[in-house]
Structure 1
Amino acid sequence: MNTLSATLRRLYDSLGWPGVAGLAMLLLAGGMTLSLVQPKTAQLAELKQANQSLKTRIAQAARDGIPATGSQDDLTRFYGFFDGPAATQWLDKTYAAAAAQDLVLTQGEYRMTPDRTGKLARYQITLPVKGSYVQIRRFVAQVLKDVPVAALEDISFKRETIGTAQLEAHIKLTLFLDADQAGVH
């Protein structure tokens, strides 16, 4: 211990306090490099390798096509989910959900479009609705529960004045239907 203190004293005498402070900062910078920069450098190398692997897989998929991930039975069962009641029956359930919340559905917009796969059809419905927030929220929840082929795409609210409990909402739903049953190809 005595030799260490003597060595430090000689170092201080030869460098002075600015030299010792500079040496301490140099040692601190080296320690930070080892503790902070080196692990991040290793992590960056791993990420670059993972990125290259993904690029290789994407290029291979573009060349060879996307490999099948499930069995044909799984795919048939998936599309079978949409082979159910006709669109009018799903709409009846939607109207019943509105009536259960004492909402009046004014004239909506309805549009049937084929899906890119050709196996499904999208029946897009835009409904203007007036009611309280709770009524509208319950209506949407009931539709999503009763109509399993429905997806809520968008909902927007508008209030005439701040104190008004009534809201105007535009609800955009999409029903996913079997294209053959819907008559769309």
Structure 2
Amino acid sequence: MMRAAGLWLRLRLALGRINPPVAAVLALLAAGAFALAWLLAAREELERDYAAARQAARAPAPVRAAPPPAPPSSDQNLAEFYAALGARRDVEHQLKSLFALAGKHGLALQQGEYRSSYDRAARLHTYQINLPVKGAYGAIWQFVFAALRALPHASLDDLSFRRDSIGDPQVEARLRLTLYLLETPGVPQ
């Protein structure tokens, strides 16, 4: 406490010895130095902003995404649907490719059941195929996916598995596919 009082006294005595005009000049010099330091810092910030703005101006304008295309009309959707269907006259060829895919995947296809029908509302033919399949579980799934890729107008309606015993590597499966076919390609009238 004593020290603080001594320092305070010394400070008052030193200030009392200073000439008031000299003190005013020193205060103005200190304020000017502070203002100059502030102005220099503000100038540096402005120069950085200016350089960033020039860099942004040199860069190409961002490409605007094209507006999304208009959704297809119902007639276009219907035309695409019918274009994706198979031809009824090619059913035998489609069945041969199905059996060839089964052989490629090492599966034994038993004699299947086939049923053809006509849907008047949709104006298309359906050809339902029930196949008993025997082979490895993974090979059956590979065959199913390959068949759906090879025949894009087919649907997998049912697939059921049965195994005689846990240790048996062979699985028996019942596979039901439906082929959607047109009499002639194009939109039916």
TM-score between the two structures when normalised by the length of structure 1: 0.56
2:75 aligns with one of 72, 82, 99: 72
Give the equivalent residue in structure 2 for 1:127.
131
Contact 2:107–2:135 (Cα < 8 Å) also in 1: yes
Query: Offset at 1:70?
Result: 3.1
- Give the Cα separation in 2 of the matches to 1:75 and 1:139: 30
Give the equivalent residue in structure 2 for 1:99.
103
- Give the Cα separation in 1 of the matches to 2:86 and 2:149: 18
Give the equivalent residue in structure 1 for 2:163.
159
Structure 2 residue matching 1:148: 3-state secondary structure? coil
- Structure 2: any 5+ residue segments left out of the alignment? 1-71
- Give the Cα separation in 1 of the matches to 2:76 and 2:159: 36
Give the equivalent residue in structure 2 for 1:172.
176
Contact 1:150–1:174 (Cα < 8 Å) also in 2: yes
2:117 aligns with one of 113, 121, 125: 113
Across the aligned residues of Structure 1 and Structure 2, the Cα RMSD in angstroms comes to 2.0
Contact 2:84–2:152 (Cα < 8 Å) also in 1: no
Amino acid aligned to 2:109: L
Contact 1:119–1:179 (Cα < 8 Å) also in 2: no
Contact 2:159–2:174 (Cα < 8 Å) also in 1: yes
Structure 2 residue matching 1:86: 3-state secondary structure? helix
- Give the Cα separation in 2 of the matches to 1:71 and 1:159: 46
- Give the Cα separation in 2 of the matches to 1:71 and 1:164: 51
TM-score between the two structures when normalised by the length of structure 2: 0.55
% identity of equivalent residues: 41
Query: Offset at 1:89?
Result: 1.7
Contact 2:86–2:179 (Cα < 8 Å) also in 1: no
- Structure 1: any 5+ residue segments left out of the alignment? 1-68
Question: Kindly tell me: are residues 121 and 163 of structure 1, through their superposed partners in 2, closer, same or farther at Cα, counting changes over 3 Å?
Answer: same
Larger Rg: 2
Structure 1 residue matching 2:111: 3-state secondary structure? coil
Please show how residues 21-36 of structure 1 align to structure 2 within 5 Å: none
Give the equivalent residue in structure 1 for 2:43.
none
Q: Spell out, residue by residue over 1:122-163, the C-alpha distance to the aligned partner (whole angstroms, 9 max, x if none).
A: 100000011010110111011011111110000000001111
Give the equivalent residue in structure 2 for 1:147.
151
Query: Offset at 1:72?
Result: 2.8
- Give the Cα separation in 2 of the matches to 1:89 and 1:123: 13
Please show how residues 34-73 of structure 1 align to structure 2 within 5 Å: 70-73=73-76
